Structure formats: structure tokens, C-alpha cells
Amino acid sequence: MIKGDQLYEGKAKKVFTTDDPELLIVSYKDDATAFNGLKHGTIAGKGVINNKMSNSLMRYLEARGVPTHFVEELNDRETLVKKVEIVPLEVIIRNISAGSFAKNYGVEEGRVFASPTIEFSYKNDDLGDPLINEYHALALELATPEELETIRKYAFMVNDELKKFWSSCGVTLVDFKLEFGRLADGSIVLADEISPDTCRLWDSETGKKLDKDRFRRDLGGVEDAYQEVMQRLEENL
Ligand code: ADP
Ligand code: UDP
């Protein structure tokens, strides 16, 4: 596989073309941002952990019926993926109140929901990724009704599988963000990443935060938390 031009540099990853028009190489950086890019920093070793964790979880999900963009891990930081047209929606599933949910609705963090919630943000940095509902997504023609149905079905499948998996690692899956894309044939697959950057992961015993909230909230021990949660994953896969 020949690595071609850089197509895009995002906040956490770079994306490169390859000699196959249907494949891309994603390269994970140690850069961290929060609050819509207002806070910048580096988390040493994060790119390696996020690459490997995301690939492990995508393989796990693929084996359980969720199609993903994952093709092959190339090295510590780089992965070959199927090229998709990203559906510009951030799909957020929550099992426990935290972050913007706790703030917006005036509840404490840590309230366990009877059923998981789903919400969508319009993936648009200039607008600050505003929350939208499905009618808005349809009005903006971000996805078709059938695509939204598929995305919702896969998002809840991901939650069911990852909740169980993380629980076996002594980790509680609080909430997470997913992105989906369309392959050349129009089918929907899970894309982007699943990592401590995009999930809230709490130690099941102590409640210790093992995710990007340590960076967002200046809690310290950011690198150690990423390593700890990666080690738990490797011990339990
Ligand atoms: P951001 O764009 O939010 O700064 P990243 O730094 O993670 O995010 O950049 C990676 C970009 O690549 C994101 O815009 C993401 O939507 C996109 N992407 C992820 N997976 C794929 C894929 N399989 N095909 C095309 N684009 C993808
Ligand atoms: N999230 C993400 N990218 C975003 C926004 C949210 O990966 O641009 C993840 C975040 O890590 C958390 C979940 O989605 O696991 C819910 O985030 P929330 O809406 O509470 O927003 P935040 O508190 O991060 O602003």
C-alpha cells in the first residue's frame, strides 16, 4: 500500500490518500483539543493508544454485526480504512449523565439512566457542532430517513456490545460519540474512532475518570489514565 498525499489534517488525526481510491490511511496524533478547539495540548502516547484501541474495538464490533471502516493496522499510529463520505452528524449515546447532559439539564453527573439516550450534533466546527434533532437532519439533507434508522440501530448495537465489553474490564461506559459514513455503494459503516478521546470511561469500583475529561478538566494523570484503560482492554480482549 502506497501512502499518497495528505487529504486532511484534523484536531486529532491526519488523513492520507493511498494508491487505492477506496482506501485511506488515518494517522493518529498526540494533539488534544477541547471546548471546540479553545483548549490545546499534547497527551504523550495518545495517538498510539487511540489507534490501537479504536482498531481493537472496531474488530470486536465487526465480529458482532456492526460494519466498520477498519481494514488493517499498518503501524503504531497508522491504520488503513475504507474511504467513506462522512455523514456530518456526531451520534452521542449516553448511559449515565455527564458533561453537557448534566450541564444542560441541571442534573448531577453519575445518574444512571433506565434506558440509554441518543442525540445528534451537526458536525460543523464553524457552528460549534450544535445539537439537532432528526427532523433538522432530514431538513438539512444530512442523511435519508433510512440512513438515520440504520445509524440509530448500529449506535445502540455498539452501546450494547461495548457496555458489556468494558464492564468485563472493570470499566463503566458512561457515554460516547460515533461517526458514520457511506461507502462507495452507499452502505453505512461505523467510521472515525472509538477511544478515550470520544468515550467517557469510569473505573467501575472507584469512579476514577479514565478518559479525556482528565485533560478537559485539568485533573492530572492524563497519560496514565489512557495507559491504564488500554491495559485493561488488552487484558480482557
Ligand atoms: P476533526 O475533523 O474533528 O478535527 P480528526 O482530527 O479526528 O477530527 O480528523 C479525522 C477526520 O477524518 C474527521 O473529520 C473524520 O470525520 C474523518 N474520517 C474518519 N474516518 C474516515 C473515513 N473512513 N473516511 C473518510 N473520512 C474519515
Ligand atoms: N464527544 C466527542 N466529540 C465531540 C463531542 C463529544 O468525542 O465533539 C464525546 C465526549 O467525549 C463524550 C460524549 O461524546 O464521551 C458526550 O459528550 P458531551 O455532549 O457531554 O460533551 P462535552 O462534555 O464533551 O462537551
- Rounded to the nearest angstrom, the distance between the alpha carbon of 54 and the centre of ligand 1 is 13
The domain total for the chain is 2
Residues 107 and 26 in one domain: no
Ligand 1 neighbours (beta carbon < 6 A): 8, 10-13, 15, 24, 69, 81-84, 86, 179, 181, 191-192
Q: What is the pLDDT of residue 131?
A: 98
DSSP states of 158-205: HHHHHHHHHHHTTEEEEEEEEEEEE-TTS-EEEES--STTTEEEEETT
Residues 103 and 135 in one domain: yes
Of all ligands present, the nearest one to the C-alpha of 120 is 2
Question: Distance between CA atoms of 23 and 33, rounded to whole angstroms?
Answer: 27
Q: What is the pLDDT of residue 52?
A: 98
CATH number for 107: 3.30.470.20
Instruction: Enter the C-alpha cell of residue 188.
Output: 453505512
DSSP states of 214-228: HHHTT-S-HHHHHHH
CB neighbours of residue 234 within 10 Å: 12
Q: What is the pLDDT of residue 1?
A: 84
Q: Are 91 and 116 in contact (CB under 8 A)?
A: no
Residues 186 and 76 in one domain: no
pLDDT tens figures, 169-187: 999 999 999 999 999 999 9
Question: 92: Cβ below 6 Å to ligand 2?
Answer: yes
Closest listed residue to residue 225, CA positions, set 6, 23, 50: 50
Which among 63, 82, 101 is the end of a domain? 82
**Encoded amino acid at 75, one letter:** N
Residues 107 and 209 in one domain: yes
Instruction: Enter the C-alpha cell of residue 84.
Output: 467513506
Residues 216 and 100 in one domain: yes
Residues listed for the chain: 237
Intervals of the chain under pLDDT 50: none
The dihedral built from the CA positions of residue 30, 32, 217 and 122, taken in this order, carries a sign that is negative
Question: Distance between CA atoms of 176 and 173, rounded to whole angstroms?
Answer: 8
Q: Which domain holds residue 90?
A: 85-224+231-236
Q: Are 233 and 169 in contact (CB under 8 A)?
A: yes
Question: Distance between CA atoms of 94 and 113, rounded to whole angstroms?
Answer: 8
- Rounded to the nearest angstrom, the distance between the alpha carbon of 168 and the centre of ligand 2 is 23
The rounded mean pLDDT for the chain is 98
Residues 60 and 18 in one domain: yes
Question: 212: Cβ below 6 Å to ligand 2?
Answer: yes
The residue nearest atom 15 of ligand 1, judged by CA position, is 192
Question: Distance between CA atoms of 123 and 178, rounded to whole angstroms?
Answer: 11
Question: Distance between CA atoms of 48 and 202, rounded to whole angstroms?
Answer: 21
- Rounded to the nearest angstrom, the distance between the alpha carbon of 12 and the centre of ligand 1 is 9
- Rounded to the nearest angstrom, the distance between the alpha carbon of 76 and the centre of ligand 2 is 25
